[in-house]
Amino acid sequence: MSTHRSRYRRIATILEHHGLGLGLGLLGLEKWIPFNKGVLGHARRDEPYTSPEHLRLALEELGPTFIKLGQLLSTRNDLLPAAYLAELVKLQDAAPPEAWEPMKAVIREELGADPEQLFAQFDPQPLAAASIGQAYAATLHDGTQVVVKVRRPGAVAQIHEDLEILQNLAERADKRWDAARQYNLPGIVEEFSRTLRAELDYLQEGRNAERFAADFADSPDVAVPQVFWETTTSRVLTLERMHGIRVDDLPALDAAGIDRNQLARRGADLILTMVFENRFFHADPHPGNLFIQTDGSIALIDFGMVGQLDEEVTEQLSDVLLAFTRGDSNALATALLALSITKNTSDRGELGRSLDVFVSRYLGRPLSDINLSHLLGELLALLRHHHLQLPQQTALLFKVLMMGEALAARLDPEFEMLQALTPFSERIVQRQFSLPALAKRWAQASADAGALLLELPGTLKQLRRVLENGGLEVHLRAAELEPLVGRAERIGNRLIAGMITAALISGIGELVSGNTRWRSREGVMIGAGASVVTALGGYLLWTTRRRR
């Protein structure tokens, strides 16, 4: 702690300044100390400051790291109430511009020459200034217009110090405060640290841009700027400059003859493709990062914050989707517990009852009557009530879907995000029951069974020693059996599905290869076998996941 003494003191001073107002707001006593009248240096205004406003003001005053933390928390509907989310969304990463000479020195240190030599033109007045870096307009010697992002001197050292302090505070809170343990504060800070450190590395941002470009190489509706690696390092990033109309500038879009209804559908399709097909998505698709070019294509910029879904989380999300569409609240509870980072919901039965109410509210309603943002917001509030916490990437995904729906609805008030989502969800279900997916489950089940068999001798020896030393005392609660039952079910499902798959594939293969009379019908038989495997696998999954 002594190595960060001055920074700890600064943080403590700011929290003391705003923390008093925050605490009084939580107690409903804010009217007795008029912060809005200038007490303790607050800006004067007529209305009292709310607790969420005190939090936002404190984060702004604490600087770049805490502003970024607040921006991240603004995506976490599963952690914070709506009033705090609405206030944290206002956090802006803008900062007063750094003087030109220190920024020019960074370019010289990184690229080995002054910008006047490296570029045909370079405007020293920044296009934008943020807490981590600044963006400049420039032109390459071949005439290509580019944007050059330059990291501020000293930004990394301050952020690394703040991240160490946050980790220390989270660890202490986790040991001393029951509420902190429920929300896994050290895990939240660790995920945040990884995200922010990735944002600091302009090489990583360049690689992100190239991956998006590769993902949409065959799509004329999407434009991604080219990265110029000759003038790019971890502290300097040179990208092709994208021109166009901001996606939320409705008068300009209308004047340019852009069909806003069609644009809403193309924008939603872009976001859904990133999330559900590529599983690599832009995690900050606000209007300032989306431009409509003269040919109608959508140009993406700013690739510092991205989300990525691994295969396990994708399968867990598929389970959630399947359970919800079937209206099976028990299966939905199991799927959400599997997806959650924290498993310590206070009452599994109460969770199931809450989900009964949630599912019944939407079951059977036409898609046109359902607002995706409201549905996700209600689900996330339910998770927060039961102390369940989503992985950060999943929380980002939900936030991106809600941002996408809001933006599309602004372009076309009649737009329905759930209808746009339908074909993607259908493909997810098809992949769940495909032959490769079933075969993979068989392989995973075999591995799980093998691991259990290897553990069995040691477990039996431990059990014998316990029995010899006086026997067992068993104290069980139903909630504690859920992980064991769930694992046994998953292994059994995989084994049975794998046995069905293996038997049918083997039988069809032997019949076709061993009898020439059937070879002419090889395609028909393989197709029929695939359909049977899919149907049996789907029926098995549906029946075995119904929890009684």
Q: Point out the residues that are catalytic.
A: 284
Closest among 175, 311, 321, 290 to 224, alpha carbons compared: 290
Residue 263 burial (C-beta neighbours within 10 Å; 0-12, 13-18, 19+): buried
Q: Degrees (nearest 5) of the Cα angle 184, 190, 196?
A: 135
Q: Which of 44, 38, 40 has the alpha carbon at shortest distance from 13?
A: 40
With beta carbons less than 8 A apart as the criterion, state whether 441 and 491 touch.
no
Exposed e or buried b for every residue in 518-542, given b needs 16+ CB within 10 A?
A: eeeeeeebeeebbeebbebbbebbe
CA atoms within 13 A on the CB side of 366: 3
User: Treating both helix axes as pointing N-terminal to C-terminal, what angle do 348-362 and 478-514 enclose, rounded to 10 degrees?
Assistant: 60
Name 290's bridge partners. 300
For residues 183 and 387, the answer to whether their CB atoms sit within 8 Å is yes
How far is residue 443's CA from residue 447's CA, in Å, rounded to a whole number?
6
Indicate the pairing of strand 145-151 with strand 236-240.
Answer: antiparallel
CB within 8 Å of 223: residues ≥ 6 apart: 242, 293, 297, 298, 299, 300
Check residue 476 and report its DSSP letter: -
Residue 301 to residue 223: CA distance in whole angstroms: 9
What does 13-24 look like in DSSP terms, one character per residue?
HHHHHHHHHHHH
DSSP states of 6-46 as a string? HHHHHHHHHHHHHHHHHHHHHHT-GGGS-GGGTGGGPPP-S
Local structure of residue 227 (DSSP, 8 states): B
Cα distances from 222 to residues 291, 301, 308, 531, in angstroms, run: 10, 11, 19, 36
Nearest to residue 187, comparing CAs of 158, 167, 211, 163?
Answer: 167
Strand partners, 136: 148
Q: CA–CA separation, 191 vs 184, rounded Å?
A: 11
**Nearest-angstrom CA–CA distance, 390 and 183:** 10
Which H, E and C letters describe 91-128, residue by residue?
CCCECCCCCHHHHHHHHHHHHCCCHHHHCCEECCCCCE
CB atoms within 10 A of CB 76: 22
Q: What type of residue sits at position 41?
A: G
How far apart are the C-alpha atoms of 54 and 21, rounded to whole Å?
Answer: 6
Query: CA 217, 223, 225 angle in degrees (round to 5)?
Result: 100
